[in-house]
Structure 1
Amino acid sequence: MDYQHILVKEHNEVGYLTLNRPKQLNSFNVAMHQEVAEVLKNWTVNPDIRCVVISGAGRGFCAGQDLSDRVVDPDAAAPDLGVSIEKFYNPLIKTLVNMPKPVICAVNGVAAGAGANIALACDLVIAAKSASFIQAFCRLGLVPDSGGTWFLPRAVGHARAMGLALLGDKLSAEDAKQLGMIWDVAEDAELQDQVTALAERLAKQPTFGLSLIKKAIHQSSHNTFEEQLILERDLQRIAGRSDDYREGVQAFMQKREPNYTGC
C-alpha cells in the first residue's frame, strides 16, 4: 500500500517504517499520525513481522509536531493541545511500548520535541554519530509530552532530566549513550547496516519471550520488589508453556540452532 508521508518495507520478518516528510524534518501532521498508526496496528498482530524499525528520511529523524499544522491565531481562542496529545501522541507511545515484539529506533539526525520522546519509547535506540536529541518544549512554553517526563528521568536520572527539560539544550548522540539514554551510536555511513543486522538478529530470537521481557521491565518502575517477584513468576509460567521455550530446550539438547516461531 502506498502512503503519502511514510515509507514501509517488510523484509526478513522485519517491518521498516520510515517517516518521510524530510523537508519538514519529518515532523508530524495529522495525516502522518494516521498512516503510522495504521501500519503499527497491522504489524502488532502480524505474525510474519517479528521486529519493527522506525527511522526518518533525509537529514533528521523527527522534529516532533509540525507547528504549521497547528496555526495559532493570536485573535482566536487558545488552542487545546491536549486534544492532539490524547488523540494521536499518547496512542502512538502506548503502541510502541506495548508492541509484542522488539522495536528499534534508528535516529539518523536531530530528534527534537516529541521526536526525541518517540525514540525513547522504543526498546533499543541506535543513533548516528551526527544525531542529536533536544527536549525543545521549553522553548515554546510547553511541557515535554509523548512520555518524555516518564522516560527521561528513568533513563538519565532526576537531575539530568530536569536540566534537559528546563534548558532545552542539544544532547549529542555520544553524550546520550554516555548518559544511558540510548543503546548505541554508529558511524553515519554504517547506521543502516548496523540497525538492519540488529533487527534481523532479534527477529530470529524467541520473540514471544522478548515481549514478556518488555512487559516485565516496563512494569518494574512502578512495582514494589515483592510485586515484581510475583510478576516474574507469572510471566515465567507463561513463557515456559510457549513453543519457543520447547524449541530452545530441544535445540540446546540436540546441539543445533533453534528455529523460533514467536509462539
Structure 2
Amino acid sequence: MTPDTDLHARLDDGALWLTLDRPEVFNALSPAMAVDLARHLEEAVSREEVRVVVLTGTGPAFSTGADISGEDAHEQFDVRAMDAANRIIRAIIGLDKPVVAAVNGIAAGVGCSAALAADIVVAAESASFLLAFARIGFMPDGGASATVAASIGRARAMRMGLLAEPMSAQEAYDAGLVTHLASDDDFPALVEKLVRRLVAGPPLAFAATKRAINAATLPQLEPALERERTGQSLLMRTADVAEGMRAFAERRRPVFRGE
C-alpha cells in the first residue's frame, strides 16, 4: 500500500490490483499519485508473481484525470504532468501482461485515456467516459488521440475530443470503446471472473497477442504521444487555458478568446 499518494497496491493470487483512492476529489491524479501508478506498472514487468494488473477506483469515479483544483493550478500545472501521463500509458501498453481497467464510475481526462489504454475495459452501467480537455482549453492527451480513434473511428473520436461530451457506459460498449458492460450490482463479480480467467491463462501467448494487436492497431501511438506533449506544452501558455482553469475552479462557463 502507498498511503502518501492515495494509491493502494494489492497482490491477490496473481492479480496486482492498483486502486485509486481519492474519492473526495473523484480520484483526480496528484503528481505523486501519477508517478507512483507508473512505477507500479513498470515494476510489474519483472514481478513473476504478477500475471494480471487491474486498475480501478473507489467511490463514484474511476478517475477524473489530472488534479487541476486550486486557485494556483494554472501556475503549477506544467509539462511534468504530461510526462507522468505518458509514462502511465507507455507502461500499460508496453507491459507484457494483460491490464484490466475496472471502470467503476466516471473516467474523464487522462483518467479516461488510461482506462482506454488497458487491454480489457470493464464498465459498470453507471460509468461514463469523457475526454473533457476542451472544456478547459486543452487537447486530448494520454494517447487518446490514437487509442480512441483506433477503437471507435475518426468521427466518434472527433465528437468526443471536440465537443467533450460524456459517453455513457452503454454507448461506449455499443461503439466498441469498452470490452465488457455489467450492471452496477454484477460489476464486481464480472471483473473478478475475468481477472481469474486471465490469471489462469497462458502468459506467453497473452504477451505475444498483446504485442501483435497493439502493433497492428496502434502503430502511431508513440508519435501521437509526442504530438500531444508538444500541443499541450504550447496550450499551457495560452490565456485560454488560464481562463479554462479559473472557470473550472470558480464553477462557471469559460470564455475562450483564442489567445
**Fold shared, TM-score > 0.5 on shorter chain:** yes
- The residue aligned with 2:242 is none
Distance in 2, Cα, partners of 1:49 & 1:118? 20
Q: In 2 relative to 1, CA 70–14 (structure 1 residues): closer, same or farther, beyond 3 Å?
A: farther
**Residues 47-101 of structure 1: CA distance to partner in whole angstroms, max 9, x if unpaired?**
111011100011100000110279346xx7xx77333212x01111000001110
Distance in 2, Cα, partners of 1:70 & 1:213? 46
Distance in 2, Cα, partners of 1:222 & 1:72? 32
Secondary structure of the residue aligned to 1:9 is strand
> Which aligned pairs between 1:153-172 and structure 2 lie closer than 5 A?
153-172=149-168
Matched, 1:83 2:80: yes
Query: Is the 8 Å Cα contact of residues 3 and 35 (structure 1) preserved in structure 2?
Result: no
Matched, 1:175 2:171: yes
- The residue aligned with 1:211 is 207
Matched, 1:190 2:186: yes
Distance in 2, Cα, partners of 1:2 & 1:155? 33
Distance in 2, Cα, partners of 1:164 & 1:216? 27
Distance in 1, Cα, partners of 2:73 & 2:52? 39
Distance in 2, Cα, partners of 1:190 & 1:85? 35
- The residue aligned with 1:240 is none
Q: Could you tell me the TM-score, scaled by structure 2's length?
A: 0.80
Distance in 2, Cα, partners of 1:8 & 1:169? 32
Distance in 2, Cα, partners of 1:173 & 1:202? 23
Distance in 1, Cα, partners of 2:218 & 2:41? 26
> Which aligned pairs between 1:88-107 and structure 2 lie closer than 5 A?
88-107=84-103
- The residue aligned with 1:3 is 3
Letter in 2 for 1:23: E
Query: Is the 8 Å Cα contact of residues 26 and 61 (structure 1) preserved in structure 2?
Result: yes
Q: Could you tell me the TM-score, scaled by structure 1's length?
A: 0.79
Distance in 2, Cα, partners of 1:135 & 1:21? 20
**Residues 161-196 of structure 1: CA distance to partner in whole angstroms, max 9, x if unpaired?**
101111011110000000000001111122112111
- The residue aligned with 2:42 is 41
- The residue aligned with 2:56 is 55
Distance in 2, Cα, partners of 1:8 & 1:222? 28
| Largest Rg, 1 or 2 | 1
- The residue aligned with 1:13 is 14
Distance in 2, Cα, partners of 1:212 & 1:116? 26
Q: In 2 relative to 1, CA 90–186 (structure 1 residues): closer, same or farther, beyond 3 Å?
A: same
CA displacement at 1:38 relative to structure 2: 2.7
Query: Is the 8 Å Cα contact of residues 66 and 81 (structure 2) preserved in structure 1?
Result: no
Distance in 1, Cα, partners of 2:98 & 2:62? 19
Alignment size in residue pairs: 218
- Larger RCO (CA under 8 A, 6+ residues apart): 2
Over the matched positions of the two proteins, sequence identity in percent amounts to 33
Letter in 2 for 1:47: E
Query: Is the 8 Å Cα contact of residues 90 and 146 (structure 1) preserved in structure 2?
Result: yes
Matched, 1:121 2:117: yes
Query: Is the 8 Å Cα contact of residues 29 and 69 (structure 1) preserved in structure 2?
Result: no
Distance in 2, Cα, partners of 1:163 & 1:84? 25
Q: In 2 relative to 1, CA 48–72 (structure 1 residues): closer, same or farther, beyond 3 Å?
A: closer
CA displacement at 1:222 relative to structure 2: 6.2
Root-mean-square deviation (CA, aligned residues, Å) is 1.7
